[in-house]
Amino acid sequence: MTKVHFMGIGGSGISAAARIAQAHGFAISGCDLEESRITRVLQKEGVNVKIGHDAAHLKGIDLLIHTPAVFYQSVTHPEYTLAAEKNIALTWEEFMAKYLQKNKFLVALAGTHGKGTTAAMLSVVLEQAGLDPTCEIGANLLNWNKENYRLGKSKYFVCEADEFRDKFLLYKPEIAVITSLEMDHPEYFADFAAVLASFRRFAGLAKVVIAHESLRKYKLAKKVIYYKPVPKSVKLKLPGEHERADAGGAWAAARVLGVKDKVIKQALESFSGCERRFEFRGEVEGVKIYDDYAHHPTAVAANIKAAKELYPRKKIWVVFQPHMYARLQALFDDFAKSLRLADRVVVSDVFTRRESGVTKPSGKDLANAVGSPKATYVGGDLLNVANFVSRNSAKGDIVLVLGAGDVYKVSDLLMQKGGEV
């Protein structure tokens, strides 16, 4: 039995890969720098998960699987250093492509925005259609009791395909779905031309390419099946044109796989969404709180528009945590423009884990660009942010907590019993 140690096992994607690997007969263990909900759940499931890093974790291990973030955090982690010397280190995407997707019919979903929700929607459709897929999703599905993976017995495998560091080029998809295409990850891609070139290479790996109709101008491949958002007659549980677009991508892929339209529609209408994807967290003293992973200007704007569609007469608050100085700098004016769509904006400090020695532009700079009195910068601990929102929001207001870092903690704090948190 191959023994595999997952370094950073608390991450969303790598934890899904670990669980799928265990089901495939691998003996798994893991570690992470900090305890989290995922590490606690894995420990309860009987997985040997340690908190902290130590070369001793590799004793008797055949493969070390790690997150690509290791390259940005520190390549001197004791496990990684030893595994690299032994030539047994792989990113979790490399491991999944080489070991878990072997001999599978792979459907890989990529895009600057929407790939996670589209992959989740397609997974639910294929599940309800009886195709019994194995799935790896970068977010936890509410339909699956907040799990981000599914174990199936058929040939079908659905996965998110991330363009960062060209990771999606590791996969060999039968079907590639591309939901959107914009400049992102400026810490890796020099410009949009580099992003486009990477997506074209990804499209070239697939036998069938499916893309949103807005991408026609990019000529991603010689032959592409283009899709549109589903009409409003498809009664999705989540609001917003971006959700209808994601559903359109899932519908197009399911059709290629032979699923009947009636089954697709029923499955999409049963889709409850993903954790941190316009997720309704609850209501406190008449204030409704939603949480989303949005960390790009387009995603920020989509969430605000969705909230306005759902609550056209309510005051929409946005609590935004910028993710990465490089992204904020490259897309600064677009962030300011998107945030101005909200009625009130609170900007926190920038969340960064892959950068060092960079402090500009700051969250305060962004709040100033959005403009006073609409926007307020609240720095320091996220408790300060939660307290500010708690003191200043009123009954009937809608609060969107947006960002890819740890800003979800603001939602947790606001959901604590009323008054100051």
Residues with Cβ within 8 Å of residue 262, at least 6 apart in sequence: none
Which pLDDT band, with edges at 50, 70 and 90, does 418 fall under?
A: very low
Indicate whether 61 and 173 sit together in one domain. no
At residue 22, the pLDDT reads 92
At residue 358, the pLDDT reads 76
Which is higher by pLDDT, 140 or 311? 311
Domain that holds residue 334: 279-414
Indicate whether 119 and 262 sit together in one domain. yes
Q: What percent of the chain has a predicted confidence (pLDDT) above 90? A: 69
pLDDT at 4 over 60: yes
The rounded distance, in Å, linking the Cα atoms of 119 and 210 is 13
The rounded distance, in Å, linking the Cα atoms of 106 and 418 is 47
Indicate whether 262 and 290 sit together in one domain. no
At residue 73, the pLDDT reads 59
The most confident of 71-75, 162-166, 185-189, by mean pLDDT: 162-166
DSSP character string of 253-306: HHHHTT--HHHHHHHHHH---BTTSSEEEEEETTEEEEEE---SHHHHHHHHHH
The rounded distance, in Å, linking the Cα atoms of 293 and 381 is 19
Of 96-110, 269-283, 395-409, minimum mean pLDDT range:
269-283
Burial of 45 (0-12, 13-18, 19+ CB in 10 A): exposed
The rounded distance, in Å, linking the Cα atoms of 250 and 179 is 10
The answer to whether residue 214 is domain-embedded is yes
Indicate whether 13 and 62 sit together in one domain. yes
Indicate whether 260 and 288 sit together in one domain. no
Burial of 92 (0-12, 13-18, 19+ CB in 10 A): buried
At residue 68, the pLDDT reads 73
Query: Per residue in 335-378, pLDDT tens?
Result: 999 999 999 999 999 998 776 777 789 999 999 999 989 999 99
The answer to whether residue 420 is domain-embedded is no
CATH code of the domain in which 112 resides: 3.40.1190.10
The residue to which tokens 């340690």 are assigned: 50
The answer to whether residue 146 is domain-embedded is yes
Return the sign of the alpha-carbon dihedral for residues 175, 179, 182, 183.
negative
CATH code of the domain in which 35 resides: 3.40.50.720
At residue 34, the pLDDT reads 81
At residue 160, the pLDDT reads 93
The rounded distance, in Å, linking the Cα atoms of 145 and 241 is 26
At residue 75, the pLDDT reads 64
- ∠ CA 117-121-127, nearest 5°, is 145
Mean pLDDT of the chain: 91
> Structure pTM?
0.80
The answer to whether residue 79 is domain-embedded is yes
Indicate whether 263 and 350 sit together in one domain. no
DSSP character string of 23-85: HTT-EEEEEESS--HHHHHHHHTT-EEEES--GGGGTT-SEEEE-TTHHHH-TT-HHHHHHHH
Q: Which of 294, 303, 315, 386 is nearest to 346 (CA)?
A: 386
The rounded distance, in Å, linking the Cα atoms of 293 and 5 is 28
Which pLDDT band, with edges at 50, 70 and 90, does 72 fall under?
A: low
Total residue length of the chain: 421
Indicate whether 114 and 231 sit together in one domain. yes
Indicate whether 328 and 263 sit together in one domain. no
At residue 184, the pLDDT reads 83
CATH code of the domain in which 337 resides: 3.90.190.20
Q: Work out how many domains the chain is built from and give that number.
A: 3
The rounded distance, in Å, linking the Cα atoms of 16 and 56 is 24
What's the average model confidence in pLDDT over 270-297?
89
Residues with Cβ within 8 Å of residue 111, at least 6 apart in sequence: 118, 177, 178, 179, 180, 181, 212
Count CB neighbours of 304 within 10 A.
25
Q: What percent of the chain has a predicted confidence (pLDDT) above 70? A: 96
Indicate whether 257 and 143 sit together in one domain. yes
At residue 209, the pLDDT reads 98
Helix (H) or strand (E) holding 149: strand 147-150
